[in-house]
Amino acid sequence: MSYLQLLRPAQWTKNLFVFAGLIFGQKINEPRSVLVVLLGFICFCLVSSAVYIINDIHDRNEDRLHPVKRRRPLAAGQITVTAASLLAVILLVVGLGGGFILDRGFFLVASAYLLLQVAYTLHLKHVAILDVILLGLGFVLRAVAGVVVLDGVELSPWLVLCTFTLCLFMGFSKRRCELNVLAGNGNNNAASHRKTLAEYTPDLLNHMTTLTAGIAVVSFTLYAMDQRTLDEFGTNYLLYTLPLVVYAIFRFALLVEHGRVNGPTEVLLRDRPFQAAIGLWGIAALLIVYHGRALQEWLSRF
């Protein structure tokens, strides 16, 4: 059980961004494309779990000071550093090796993700603002990996922009959650857990989450109205899903501001209203992406 916890399977939900190219590239009805992206998702899960292990090895002393992270297997002394290191190497060999067999471009993107995350763990996460930007870039690389592994799908600048701005919002929200957790447990020395938390204040993070939420909403709106979107899907009806996007983002912000969650993953896995909004948006988006022209023709009769 400790080894499974070390892999952080709940965090694999972040790798669902790998499927963005499959869905919006209109390849979901092609079994081979689905299989290739699914294999890419598995490889990315293995690599990301290795990254989490490397992070836990590096941060085990700081994690012991955190009210929640002190329960992690390495911080709690349930698994030795040697055993964890060996597991990380195995995961990287299988994950990157599988990615290399799958597609050379995918392998390069996964390798770039690994290098970025290692640099983040060793030093860059201690640089305020840059730490969150790098988290956003990690999600962008996930989405890019899901595109390069597919034949006939071009990398859309909208995919990069929407992913990056949304994940900036989530990243600053994560920092807000960390301050909430530490304050709720009477720990006023945030820097003892993460150096950048000493530079972030609740008011500053509120400004940053507000700004990035607005940018994310505007980015999605521009994408939905873009001529290329209209040409590909045959309709601009994606714009009409904007209320669901706004609700999901604002619901996320509400939970973070009131300290009801410890991080983005908890929102995704536990909050029913947020899940309902994401589920409805997903259904609507699939109908529009794959049946947009037919839907527009049918509605035009009324």
More confident residue, 96 or 261: 96
How confident is the prediction for the chain on average, in pLDDT? 89
Q: Which CATH superfamily is domain 1-153 in?
A: UbiA prenyltransferase (1.10.357.140)
What number is the average pLDDT over the span 274-299? 90
Q: Note the pLDDT tens digit of each residue in 112-165.
A: 999 999 999 888 888 989 999 999 999 999 999 999 999 888 888 998 999 999
Handedness of CA 136, 282, 14, 35 (dihedral sign): negative
Answer for the pair 179, 205: CB distance below 8 angstroms, yes or no: yes
Q: Assign 279 a pLDDT band (cuts: 50, 70, 90).
A: very high
Enter the pTM of the model: 0.88
Residue 197 CA to residue 201 CA, distance in Å, equals: 8
Q: Note the pLDDT tens digit of each residue in 50-71.
A: 999 999 898 888 778 777 778 8
Place of tokens 């990315």: 44
Residue 194 in this model has a pLDDT that exceeds 80: no
Handedness of CA 111, 113, 114, 115 (dihedral sign): positive
More confident residue, 41 or 2: 41
Q: Note the pLDDT tens digit of each residue in 158-187.
A: 989 999 999 999 999 988 888 887 766 555
The secondary element (H helix, E strand) that includes residue 127 is none
Q: What pLDDT score was predicted for residue 188?
A: 55
The secondary element (H helix, E strand) that includes residue 42 is helix 31-63
Q: Note the pLDDT tens digit of each residue in 7-27.
A: 899 889 889 999 999 999 999
Q: What pLDDT score was predicted for residue 115?
A: 96
Q: In whole angstroms, what separates CA 174 from the centre of its chain?
A: 11
Buried b (16+ CB within 10 A) or exposed e, 252-261: bbebbbeeeb
Residue 37 CA to residue 17 CA, distance in Å, equals: 11
Closest C-alpha among 141, 139, 47 to residue 97: 47
For residue 188, the SS3 value is coil
Q: What pLDDT score was predicted for residue 245?
A: 95
